[in-house]
Amino acid sequence: MPTLKVHHIGYLVKKIGKAVKTFQSLGYQIEQDTVLDEIRKVEICFLTKDGYRVELISPVSEDSVAAGLLKKYKNSPYHICYEADDPEAACQELTQNGFTAIDTPTPAPALNGRNVVFLMSPIIGMIELLY
């Protein structure tokens, strides 16, 4: 199995500006200011604390997939993103272990254009794989 390292925890929020301020009040620091991901129609801000990285995701359009997820999950964490030393092999291995890719590798503007793919497990829900 290729090695997976936790890269961030994805956290859905309705109001990203207020969410950033609230996380700051908990001691989080902004790692990367809010950027617009036009592909997914979301705003994204990365924060860190104690070696943890949190990705705030907020839909900017009703037809964003994140808007549907926000309705379902409310303001809450909803995925853990993993960085693999060999993403292709990792994706293949995950698929053999019950995960299903729910999209194809797509560039993430908030991650310097690196590709990400989301996978779903019937046991633990959604994960993200960073290429």
Binding site residues, Ni ion, CB under 5 A: 10, 55, 81, 128
Residues forming beta bridges with residue 76, ordered by sequence position: 12
Residues forming beta bridges with residue 48, ordered by sequence position: 29, 53
| 70: three-class secondary structure by DSSP | helix
Please report how close the Cβ of residue 117 comes to Ni ion at its closest, in angstroms: 11
User: Which lies closer to Ni ion via its Cβ, residue 50 or residue 118?
Assistant: 118
Q: How many whole angstroms from its chain centre is CA 68?
A: 15
Which residue minimizes CB distance to Ni ion? 10
Residues forming beta bridges with residue 45, ordered by sequence position: 56
Please report how close the Cβ of residue 53 comes to Ni ion at its closest, in angstroms: 10
Please report how close the Cβ of residue 6 comes to Ni ion at its closest, in angstroms: 11
